[in-house]
Amino acid sequence: MNILISGGSGFLGSAFSEALIKRYRSENKEVHITWLTRDSNQPHPIDIKMMTYDELTKSNQSFDVILNLAGAGIADKRWSDARKEQLLVSRVQPTEALLAFIARSSTKPKLLVSGSAIGWYGAQGDKPLIESSDFNTDFSHKLCDDWEQLALKATDYGVPVVIVRTGVVIHPEGGMVSKLLTPFKMGVGGQLADGKQIMSWISREDWVRAVIFIIEQHLTVQQQAQLNNTGNTLNTASDTPAVVYNLTAPNPVTNHTFTKTLGAWLHRPTFFTLPKFLLKLMFGEMSTLLIDGQKVLPQALLNADFKFKQPTLKQALEQKV
């Protein structure tokens, strides 16, 4: 397999690359991974090739799969108008570059897997949401939808597209958990607002396993026929298939449960509560990510018989690193 990854050095891309290389080598299969980067001097594992965006515009190399993960973190900074624009541009520009490459390639990729987030559904409280569910319009939805609609243009060139809508990714030494370790270890961790808001999450290991599973399944004609019956097929202008998956664990939790589980894992108390008004004061519009819940379920993965290795939050936190 020959795969090109935008955002390959990130929290998800690096873990995916490591796992794919390990898996294929254990099975004596060939795998070649190239990270798309703006900095040719960026540190990278010896097994990974690097390609700049400038080189991509001239490259005649062919790839079996493109994995598009590039994008600034939506929860990293307060949502000023400038930050909103940065969030959009950081997703649009890499996707446009990949589309231009696909358009002029004589040998098209067999699959484009493009990132998105469960923010596509907007805030909908504890209403169960699957891939065929509708959305509420807000900034998170618009950001995700603009990104998805751009990626879907690859179908115009005969390239099947998979959209992966990712929930909160859990790992003992990275992502959201790493940001919470210091306050929780100091004993000042606690729930947000009333703690009833639903958090849809997935362990990083299961995220990686799910993406590998999706890629391998979509590279077979037999699986494609099954996917068309899952209710998660998107409409496109062409007859080329486009499918969406929710990358979330099957057991979403309330913020209260998340707080207590994290505290128990760290053996620390969780007495504190950050009230809703203070969260809004601190984070402005971005506070919706903390206050308003989403109960997003991985129906398409379950329909495809994917088996989660860490289906509970406790298992995700206790996974070996």
Which of 35-39, 62-66, 188-192, 311-315 comes out lowest in average pLDDT?
188-192
Taking only the tens place, the pLDDT of each residue in 259-317 is: 999 999 988 988 888 888 888 888 889 888 889 989 999 999 999 999 999 999 999 99
The secondary structure element, H or E, covering residue 84 is helix 81-104
Neighbours of 25 (CB within 10 A): 12
Which token pair is 202?
A: 């997935």
Q: Which of 245, 258, 227, 230 is nearest to 296 (CA)?
A: 245
Taking only the tens place, the pLDDT of each residue in 165-199 is: 999 999 988 777 877 888 888 887 889 999 999 99
Q: CB under 8 Å to 220, separation ≥6 — which residues?
A: none
**Tokens 């795969």, located at residue:** 3
